[in-house]
Amino acid sequence: MDIQAIKNRFGIIGNSPALNYALQVAAQVANTDLTVLINGESGVGKEVFSQIIHALSARKHNPFIAVNCGAIPEGTIDSELFGHEKGSFTGAVDSRKGYFETVNGGTIFLDEIGEMPLGTQARLLRVLETGEYIRVGSSKVQKTDVRVIAATNRDLLERTQQGKFREDLYYRLNTVPIRVPALRDRKEDIPLLFRKFSVDFSEKYKTPSIQLDEEARNMLVNYTWRGNVRELKNIAEQISVLSTDKLVTANDLKRFLPEVPEVNRLPMLAAPQQQSGGDFASERDILYKLFFDMKKDVTEVKKMFFDILQNPNMAHAAHDYHPDNHVIHSYPSGNEMTVPAPAVSNAQPIILADNKIDHHEEVEETLSIADKEKELIVKALKKHKGKRKDAALDLGISERTLYRKLKEYNIAE
């Protein structure tokens, strides 16, 4: 069957190269029993491709079932797929066949395979490799002949690296991959799809068929369509029902298209290499470097001002006006300091007092806990005029502890 015949049979609209290639692969693999993995975003029509493969296969007269793995609770998915025996768990009042038993000889479509629990993945791998499975609560091995077609909107290879999907199952499923293109990757098909949907809904709701003007058509084509064909179909239905004019303009279309939040384009800090301490260690190193750089900058600024004050010619330093309305003071050290020019045109230059400083020392503040504790005790005693009880209360310690500290630090009352 050629590609156009497949499109006509299954109601597929579009002629983009990516779509045609995906349909070609589906047609070629249909008449085999190979496992197929269909990749694509939500709403691109992955289930339609599974139906195409089944309908063109030798199993077309046997059962076909679609199972959404993400919609079945983790505690019951094994029972749904493989069945269970009576009394195997709470609520199992009777034996029940699973999908792999009821669809024997046919095709099972496992949608959102990436959401399947790891335990169930191991059971599925056994079915794919040997055709064998065991009901929940049973020890009897049963055989099945089912073709598996899986689909996902996740990156399964990435999930294998995260430990959320079995690597052996990924390669077993990915025998023949089919990539269904997103709607934004087949923009030439968007007007055709919208026209088809609008005609269908005008017939369904007995309303005039709507048309788009040129500007509205361009807006429709350039929209992001995160929900793909499903979202486009919903928009076409809304416009068909709610639009009062037969000709839809760009302003009319804006009311129906949801606003897409802008991507955050703020610059991002490069992640530091992981160290033995993990993320905390990396952040700690960044903070240490930040504080060290701040201290270095403050020290340099202090030194510069001490050099200025020590220079006896500072008060008579030459100055002139910069073309961009800034005053540049030149100092003998070779440094230049730029400060905004005064707003008043006849303002006088700022003269620093010619204070003679013979020398200066940079005194580091003590970081000793004992020294700080002694200093606080002295301050508390002075504040309360030597009253130890009040001083101890203010310090948050007992009077007995204060007395011991007085002796320890040799503080005279």
Looking at residue 396, which CATH number applies to its domain?
Answer: 1.10.10
Distance CA(123)–CA(67), nearest Å, equals 16
On whether residue 189 sits in a domain, the answer given is yes
For 217-244, the pLDDT digits (tens) are: 999 999 999 999 999 999 999 999 998 8
Domain that holds residue 138: 3-181
**Which residue in 190, 160, 197, 152 sits closest to 49, CA to CA?**
152
Q: What's the confidence (pLDDT) of residue 21?
A: 96
pLDDT at 78 over 90: yes
395 is a domain residue = yes
Q: In one letter, which amino acid is 65? A: I
Q: For residue 250, what is the domain's CATH number? A: 1.10.8.60
In sign, the C-alpha dihedral spanning 231, 233, 237, 239 is: positive
State the Cα–Cα distance between residues 351 and 101, nearest whole angstrom: 96
Return d(Cα 220, Cα 274) in angstroms, integer: 45
d(CA 6, CA 4): 5
In a domain, 240, yes or no: yes
The vertex-261 CA angle with 260 and 267, nearest 5°, equals 140
| pTM of this prediction exceeds 0.85 | no
Indicate if 175 and 193 belong to the same structural domain: no
Give 345-391 pLDDT, tens digit per residue.
444 444 444 444 455 455 555 567 777 788 888 888 888 888 888 88
Number of domains in the chain: 4
198 and 324 assigned to the same domain: no
Q: What is the CATH number of the domain that holds 67?
A: 3.40.50.300
Same domain, 333 and 380: no
**Same domain, yes or no: 46 and 168:** yes
Q: Which residue has the higher pLDDT, 6 or 324?
A: 6
Q: Are 229 and 186 in contact (CB under 8 A)?
A: no
Q: Burial of 140 by CB count in 10 Å (0-12 exposed, 13-18 middle, 19+ buried)?
A: exposed
H/E run at residue 407: helix 399-408
Each residue's pLDDT tens digit, 188-206 = 999 999 999 999 999 999 8
- Say if residue 287 is in the same domain as residue 140: no
Distance CA 201, CA 322 (A): 72
Same-domain check for residues 126 and 247: no
Number of Cβ atoms within 10 Å of the Cβ of 135: 22
Asked if 77 and 99 touch (Cβ cutoff 8 Å), the reply is no
Kindly state whether residues 328 and 389 are assigned to the same domain. Answer: no
**Whether residue 241 sits in one domain with residue 282:** no
pLDDT of residue 327: 43
Residue 159 sits in the same domain as residue 300: no
Rounded to a whole number of angstroms, the distance between the first and last alpha carbons of the chain is: 105
The answer to whether residue 270 is domain-embedded is no
pLDDT reading at 118 higher than 50: yes
* Domain membership flag for residue 266: no
User: In this predicted structure, what is the pLDDT of residue 402?
Assistant: 83
- Same-domain pairing of 123 and 194: no
Residue 350 lies in a domain: no
* SS3 state of residue 152: strand
Last residue of a domain, one of 203, 221, 254: 254
- Residue 338, pLDDT > 70, answer no
Asked whether residue 413 is domain-assigned, the answer is no
- Same domain for 218 and 144: no
> Both 230 and 124 in a single domain?
no
